[in-house]
């Protein structure tokens, strides 16, 4: 990116303008992602008309992306720069936060003052959260997930909070396994079914609309020997630690002997550290907004043990504060 204009002119940096740039950029990227424009950009580059029917705003949006070093002109096509490719690599984070939680944070004052209540007066965009969660840190998680799963055997996988089912499709492909995707969002389920059909896997992967935080509501768990929940378990924890442990016990009762659970979570920040942490303070505040708490690595491990699972391995993936926990049902 270009050198900061304040630095060129010898003026002290104004951090407020950096925040403004980040806010606008995240909002634009999240919106273009929702429209499918980013897929076009990654695949073949953009023309102005690809951005939208409001050609004046579409043109100025492209110019803005040029100004911020995200794309560069190549004739009448605009292509990603190196900086742009780096941004889009993390588009799942941006879509999840700016798209899924845009309104709750815009109305944050109502929530913190108690004037409005989350889930009643103000809510996240469930469709965007469900879909983007499946892409959240996907490339960062993938090598660690594949390494852990190479150590175990499985023939049928259930993905809790499957979103668009891309994770489920990838995991099933590791060992030619069958799959069951579960999500509470009807929009996410519709997208998941399109992804499964596109890959020709409708005979092997079933996707159902159900509340995965209720073990009794999930069909076919008796034949599932691997459950994956990427950034899902804290949704169950929202109802309290005792409920979460009870949920795990109910899950263990229905799963066959030797079944595994692979969970991905983000740990809360360690506030006694000398340097501020990346991402974990924002992740923690988002979940505080929803009335959800997060557990430490020891906390997650203890909860799984109480719920009838043995901890096989915990791994810290290349995600700030990230945790992968592999557990196995105890006999």
Write down the domain spans for the chain.
1-89, 128-329
- The CB-side HSE value for 171 (13 A sphere, CA atoms) comes to 34
CA gyration radius for the chain?
Answer: 21
H/E element holding 122?
none
Cα torsion angle, 155, 161, 163, 167, sign: negative
Print burial letters for 183-206: b (CB count within 10 Å at least 16), e (below 16). bbbebbbebbbebbeeeebeebbb
pLDDT at 140 over 90: no
* Structure confidence at residue 25 as a pLDDT band (50, 70, 90): very high
75-116 pLDDT tens trace:
999 999 999 999 999 999 999 999 999 999 999 999 999 999
Q: How many residues does the chain have?
A: 331
Start-to-end CA distance of the chain, whole Å, equals 56
**Average pLDDT for the chain:** 92
**CA 230: distance to chain centroid?**
8
Residue 172 in contact with residue 204, Cβ under 8 Å? yes
Counting residues of the chain whose pLDDT is more than 70, the rounded percentage is 95
Alpha-carbon distance 314 to 325, whole Å?
A: 5
Note the pLDDT of residue 3: 52
Query: Any idea which fold 1-89 has?
Result: Arc Repressor Mutant, subunit A (1.10.10)
Note the pLDDT of residue 59: 97
Q: What is the CATH class of 128-329?
A: alpha beta
Alpha-carbon distance 310 to 328, whole Å?
A: 5
Note the pLDDT of residue 7: 59
The mean per-residue pLDDT over the stretch 248-268 comes to 95
The mean per-residue pLDDT over the stretch 192-215 comes to 94
Closest C-alpha to 28, from 86, 87, 72, 78: 87
- The CB-side HSE value for 14 (13 A sphere, CA atoms) comes to 9
Note the pLDDT of residue 1: 46
Alpha-carbon distance 13 to 31, whole Å?
A: 29
Which structure tokens are listed for 75?
């004739």
141-172 pLDDT tens trace:
889 999 999 999 999 999 999 989 999 999 99
Q: Where are the beta strands (DSSP E) in the chain?
A: 71-74, 77-80, 156-160, 178-183, 205-209, 226-230, 260-266, 309-315, 322-329
Alpha-carbon distance 27 to 245, whole Å?
A: 37
């Amino acid at each position: 990116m270009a050198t900061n204009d304040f630095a060129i002119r010898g003026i002290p940096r104004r951090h407020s303008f950096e925040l403004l740039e980040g806010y606008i950029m995240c909002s634009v990227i999240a919106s273009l992602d929702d429209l499918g424009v980013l897929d076009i950009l990654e695949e073949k580059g953009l023309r102005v008309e690809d951005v939208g029917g409001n050609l004046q705003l579409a043109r100025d949006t492209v110019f803005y992306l040029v100004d911020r070093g995200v794309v560069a002109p190549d004739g009448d096509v605009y292509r990603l720069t190196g900086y742009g490719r780096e941004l889009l690599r993390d588009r799942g984070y941006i879509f999840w936060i700016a798209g899924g939680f845009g309104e709750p944070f815009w109305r944050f004052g109502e929530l913190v003052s108690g004037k409005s209540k989350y889930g009643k007066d103000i809510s996240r965009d469930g469709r965007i959260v469900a879909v983007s969660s499946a892409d959240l840190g996907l490339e960062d998680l993938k090598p660690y997930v594949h390494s852990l799963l190479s150590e175990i055997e499985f023939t049928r996988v259930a993905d809790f909070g499957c979103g668009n089912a891309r994770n489920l499709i990838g995991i099933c492909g590791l060992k030619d396994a069958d799959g069951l995707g579960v999500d509470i969002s009807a929009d996410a389920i519709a997208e998941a079914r399109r992804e499964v059909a596109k890959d020709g896997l409708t005979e092997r992967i079933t996707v159902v609309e159900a509340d995965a935080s209720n073990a009794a509501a999930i069909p076919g768990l008796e034949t599932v020997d691997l459950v994956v929940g990427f950034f899902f378990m804290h949704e169950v924890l929202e109802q309290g630690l005792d409920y979460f442990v009870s949920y795990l016990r109910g899950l263990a009762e229905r799963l066959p002997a030797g079944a595994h659970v692979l969970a991905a979570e983000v740990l809360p920040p360690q506030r006694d550290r000398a340097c501020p942490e990346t991402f974990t303070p924002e992740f923690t505040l988002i979940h505080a907004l929803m009335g959800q708490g997060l557990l430490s690595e020891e906390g997650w491990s203890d909860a799984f043990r109480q719920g009838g699972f043995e901890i096989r391995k915990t791994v810290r993936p290349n995600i700030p504060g990230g945790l992968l926990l592999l557990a196995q049902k105890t006999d």
